[in-house]
């Protein structure tokens, strides 16, 4: 279907199709490394080149059978889920506080809360290493969970704060006038309406934890290895197509997270529209 107006001239049509072609080329440039990696993860031979002599699931089976990869996936899920819960709880509380206009120094507090996003990962990891080791949290999953929660909290703060900008406080006042207490009004009225922002922030926090490797290198030991650290070690020590298999799995997880975010975005639009 032609979306151009009938009065569009030759120059306008040329720019329209050139712009679309440029977008397609940029998308291919970004997606080409992924599109090349995925087929190689099914190669029956341990080679990182084309053509592929045969297809096999041997490298995916090795992910399940290799103890180091099994431990890494277990630690990654534990750290990801726990740090996401902590980051979501703290981020929602911080966003609710920042939503009050009478909060003193609100801009300064907001800048401090989102500062972990601007600080380079190496600097944050070094600071966390010296801080957590004082409390015996080095080479400990608890220390990694707390560190990942620090890195994921800013994403929750930003998404929930953005959701609260368009929130109608009269709904909470109406609930209070009908006899609901502050806690009941929050869980029955406010939280369901800001739930898309909360879940979106949680998804971003989980993705941040799932992809973090620098902090784990500083705070984790052999028993605290995660999937990103295992992949890093595999690239440095023993290059294997198992890494490509895990990269494919991570790509699928990323796609699922993006689809979740898109579903939440559409749900938020329907809620704002009153549908």
pLDDT digits (tens, 9 = 90+) for 211-270: 888 888 888 877 888 888 888 877 776 677 888 888 888 888 888 888 887 777 777 666
Q: Which domains does the chain have, with CATH numbers?
A: 1-33 (no CATH), 60-269 (1.10.3720.10)
- Between these two residues, 203 and 50, which has the higher pLDDT value? 203
pLDDT of 103 above 50 = yes
Contact 251, 38 (CB under 8 A): yes
Nearest to 210 by CA among 167, 134, 155, 139: 155
The three-class DSSP label of residue 257 is helix
Rounded Cα distance between 247 and 244, Å, is 5
Q: What is the mean pLDDT of residues 63-69?
A: 83
Q: Which helix (H) or strand (E) holds 141?
A: helix 141-165
pLDDT of 273 above 80 = no
Q: What are the start-end ranges of the E strands in the chain?
A: none
Q: For residue 43, which phi and psi values (nearest 5 degrees)?
A: -70, 130
pLDDT in the model for residue 88: 93
Question: How would you label 54-92 residue by residue, b for 16+ Cβ within 10 Å and e otherwise?
Answer: eeeebbbeebeeeeebebbbebbeebbebbbebbbebbb
pLDDT of 1 above 70 = no
> What is the pTM (predicted TM-score) of this model?
0.79
Place of tokens 């209070």: 176
pLDDT in the model for residue 2: 53
Q: For residue 55, which phi and psi values (nearest 5 degrees)?
A: -110, 140
pLDDT of 131 above 70 = yes
Rounded Cα distance between 228 and 139, Å, is 16
pLDDT in the model for residue 274: 55
CA angle 225, 230, 235 (to 5 degrees): 150
Rounded Cα distance between 38 and 66, Å, is 20
- Between these two residues, 123 and 172, which has the higher pLDDT value? 123
CA angle 266, 186, 260 (to 5 degrees): 25
Place of tokens 């399940």: 64
Confidence of residue 148 (pLDDT cuts 50, 70, 90): very high
pLDDT of 271 above 70 = no
Rounded Cα distance between 263 and 188, Å, is 22
Provide the mean pLDDT of the chain.
Answer: 82
């Amino acid at each position: 279907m032609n979306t151009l107006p009938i009065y569009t001239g030759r120059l306008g049509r040329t720019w329209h199709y050139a712009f679309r072609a440029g977008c397609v080329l940029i998308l291919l440039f970004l997606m080409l490394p992924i599109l090349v990696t995925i087929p190689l993860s099914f190669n029956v031979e341990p080679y990182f080149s084309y053509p592929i002599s045969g297809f096999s699931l041997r490298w995916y089976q090795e992910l399940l059978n290799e103890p180091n990869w099994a431990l890494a996936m277990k630690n990654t899920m534990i750290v990801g889920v726990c740090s996401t819960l902590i980051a979501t709880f703290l981020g929602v509380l911080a966003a609710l506080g920042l939503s009050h206009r009478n909060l003193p120094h609100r801009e300064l507090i907001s800048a401090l809360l989102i500062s972990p996003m601007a600080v380079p990962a190496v600097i944050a990891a070094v600071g966390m290493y010296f801080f957590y080791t004082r409390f015996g949290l080095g080479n400990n999953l608890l220390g990694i969970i707390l560190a990942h929660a620090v890195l994921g909290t800013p994403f929750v703060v930003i998404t929930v704060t953005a959701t609260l900008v368009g929130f109608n406080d009269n709904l909470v006042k109406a609930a209070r006038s009908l006899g609901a207490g502050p806690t009941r009004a929050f869980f029955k009225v406010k939280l369901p309406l800001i739930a898309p922002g909360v879940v979106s922030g949680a998804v971003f926090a989980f993705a941040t934890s799932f992809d973090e490797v620098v902090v784990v290198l500083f705070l984790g030991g052999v028993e605290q290895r995660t999937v990103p650290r295992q992949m890093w070690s595999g690239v440095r020590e023993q290059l294997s197509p198992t890494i490509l298999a895990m990269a494919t799995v991570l790509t699928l997880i990323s796609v699922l997270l993006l689809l979740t975010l898109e579903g939440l975005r559409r749900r938020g639009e329907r809620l704002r529209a009153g549908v």
